[in-house]
Amino acid sequence: MAQFALARPRRPASAETTRRAFDAWKLLSLPLFAFIALPLLALFLRASPPRLAANLADPQVQQAVALSLQTGLITTAITVLLGTPVAYILARRRFALKRAVDALVDLPTVLPPAVAGVALLMAFGRRGLLGGPLTGLGLHLAFTTAAVVMAQTFVAAPFYVRAALIGFGSIEDELEQAAALDGANGWQVFRRVTVPLAWPALLSGAVMTWARALGEFGATIIFAGNFPGRTQTMPLAIYMGFELELDVALTLSVILVACSFLVLILVKSLLGREPEAERDW
Amino acid sequence: MGVQPAIGGCPENRPPSARHFRSAWHLVGFIRRGAGRGMGGCPGNRPVGLTQRRKGRQGPLSSSERLCVLASLRELFIRQGASARMALWTLALASLLLAGCASAAVPAVAPLAGRSAAGQTLTVFAAASLAEAFTEIGRGFEAAHPGTQVIFNFAGSQQLAQQLAQGAPADVFASADAQQMAAAVKVGRVRERESQSFARNRLVVIFPPDNPARLFALEDLARPELRLVIAAPQVPAGKYALSFLARASKDPGLGPRFGERVLDNVVSHEENVRAVLSKVALGEADAGIVYVSDISAARPARIGRLEIPDAWNPVAEYPIAAIADSRRRELAQAFVEFVLSAKGRAVLAQHGFMVE
């Protein structure tokens, strides 16, 4: 950064103005923060601990939690396995239509998940582009746990690819080149230099993908259907439970919120983002 | 662009990383003041670009390097400005197109919106199975009551009842079963004596046109490996489907444990009856259980059907009522009466419902 120091306008600011500006910012940030925190708080207040405990024993709740954890982990594993090469290529190579590929990878994050569900049906459904031949081979995807994983991967993978791309992009080419000069082969460079350096980005990307997979609803209900223990993940159980047993919906919602919150805190502390923000003040 | 030759000397076209960009931002003013203007370009073949300045080689930039950096930055900002403008235009164009499509598809939207400002709107919560019939009845009602706009909320009755319980504003509720109407009565949104039955419906087994599971009789529903889709048990259509299976199970003609064996074949509990229809019409499922009205002559879906004998077929009663706390009670009552009138019944019958 030193090379740009010449242009940085340095205006001496007294501690007093800084503090006042901080107070104003604090005040301005309150509405949105309250708007996000309040509904989540209400969720916890509405679900009383004894009822929560009782609902946890409900087999439907347990099935949904187990299925969500299981499919979420499989989704994350598949994403890391298949997403890493995509991110690496996008970060390192230049090729025709790169921008289009880049946009395509990001597309599922902005699409309504219902669109993802319909698209998956058109591709892998029994009458779908690929689904037809697959059915001929005796492979049924719709209404199976595999379909849940596919829906989750489609929707959640871009979060990992995006994070990994940024991680790889922040590594200096020269470090890899130096390792290669020292005799490391391509895999060794990747394994010993690239991955360790990009590790925080890769980890946070994987965790975000897992969290997004956990919350996947629209694509799942359209592509995988809704069957307890097989395709009914937590969000589906919450949606169906909302109409019949609000308690079940509440319990699962609380679990989901708590899980996601803990995970996000974990990732943020792993990455040590907080201190940097504090330093700015 | 004047800076083009300068860029030529910087072969590194990769966008600078975020780290560069943050500090680069401070340079905008500098560049704007014209510090980079009139530069002759980067020195010959020496590749000097933003990303070439690595951590390990930090030091004062030479003046030519600095010029090159500035030129790339200016190019970057110009390019970004242009693409941002382009993105905005694209967005605006896309929105316009979408709006155009929408109004082309629903030509009534504009006049209706205009009328509703002067007239009144009526919000009707109706079971998903009523979608087409009520849409047509709503048009008739609008014609009979100029200045009125009818807005429908079609969903599974259990979902509508839940929404009513949570205080959703509505004027009329039409449910696919008495239980959900009772739920609305229980939370005080409907007066019990005001609920009247306006139509009846029956179930039918459907299968995709090519009949992949070769379903020829109800017994076949219990055949292993068949993939059946029904509505979830909390949805009226799902509840009726379960009651059909319970009744059929008592008949020895269908084999032992008929109901259980059929339920073993269920691969999905859909959130409303129309989702069942979609899954079967798409060929995802081998069979589904829906209302007769869902595949009536008015909805010429290409789909196979298997009748369920009356003895096993539960009759779905559809009750309708004006919402007790509606702000347009009279209009709501008028709509209920319109549904019950000869005209309303004719439309319902045309859509496969049973009416007196």
Q: What is the pLDDT of residue A11?
A: 58
The whole-number average pLDDT for the span B201-213 is: 91
Q: What is the CATH number of the domain that holds A80?
A: 1.10.3720.10
Please give the Cα distance from B173 to B69 (Å, whole number): 68
Per-residue pLDDT, B80: 53
Domain of residue A226: give its range: 57-113+143-276
CA dist B262 to B82, B254, B308, Å?
62, 11, 14
The listed CATH number (3.40.190.10, 3.40.50.10800, 3.40.630.30, 3.65.10.10) that belongs to domain B119-200+317-350 = 3.40.190.10
Residue A34 lies in a domain: no
Residue of B nearest to A145 (CA): B267
Residue B116 pLDDT? 40
pLDDT of residue B28: 39
- The 3 state secondary structure assigned to B163-199 is HHHCCCCCCEEECCCHHHHHHHHHCCCCCHHHCEEEE
Which residues of B fall within a CB distance of 8 Å from A1? 19, 23
Q: What is the pLDDT of residues B61-74, one digit of tens each?
A: 445 545 554 455 44
Q: Looking at per-residue confidence, does B163 or B62 come out higher?
A: B163
Which residues of chain A fall short of a pLDDT of 50? 1-5, 274-281
* Residue B328 contacts A where some CB pair is shorter than 8 Å: no
Residue B223 pLDDT more than 60?
Answer: yes
Give the pLDDT score at B55: 37
CATH number listed for the domain at residues B203-307 = 3.40.190.10
Quick one: pLDDT at residue B88?
64
pLDDT at B82 over 80: no
Name residue A275's beta-bridge partners: none
Q: Which two tokens stand for residue A190?
A: 């990747």
Residues of chain A in contact with residue B210, where contact means CB-CB under 8 angstroms, are: none
Task: Determine, for residues B23 and A9 on separate chains, whether the beta-carbon distance falls below 8 Å.
Answer: no
Burial tier of A280 (Cβ tally within 10 Å: 0-12, 13-18, 19+): exposed
- The residue of chain A nearest to residue B14, with distances taken between CA atoms, is A94
Helix axes A246-271, A49-56, angle to 10 degrees: 90
Quote the mean pLDDT of chain B. Answer: 75
Confidence of residue B101 (pLDDT cuts 50, 70, 90): low
- C-alpha B177/C-alpha B80 separation (Å) is 58
pLDDT of residue A1: 42
Phi–psi pair at B218, nearest 5 degrees: -60, -30
Q: Considering only A33-47, B37-51, B108-122, B150-164, which range has the smallest mean pLDDT? A: B37-51
* Mean pLDDT of the region B214-231: 92
Q: What is the pLDDT of residue A7?
A: 53
Most distant CA pair in chain B: distance in Å? 96
Q: How far is CA B117 from CA B107, B110, B142, B148, B149, in A?
A: 17, 11, 15, 10, 10
B267 → closest Cβ in A6, A221, A225: A225
Q: Can you give the residue ranges of every domain in chain B?
A: 4-104, 119-200+317-350, 203-307
Do A105 and A87 form a contact (C-beta atoms < 8 A)?
no
Indicate whether this model's pTM tops 0.80. no
Residue from the list A126, A174, A240 with its beta carbon closest to the beta carbon of B284 = A126
User: How far B36 CA lies from chain A's nearest CA (Å)?
Assistant: 13
Largest Cα separation within chain A, whole Å, is 75
What DSSP character marks residue B354? B
For residues B29-49, give the mean pLDDT. Answer: 38
Q: Is the pLDDT score of B40 beyond 60?
A: no
Return the amino acid letter for A123: A
pLDDT, position A12? 57
In a domain, A131, yes or no: no
Interchain CB contacts (distance < 8 Å): A and B:
89
Q: Does position B38 have pLDDT exceeding 70, yes or no?
A: no
* Residue tagged 């591709």 (tokens): A123
Asked, for residue A48, whether it belongs to a domain, the answer is no
Q: How far apart are CA B325 and CA A135, in angstroms?
A: 53
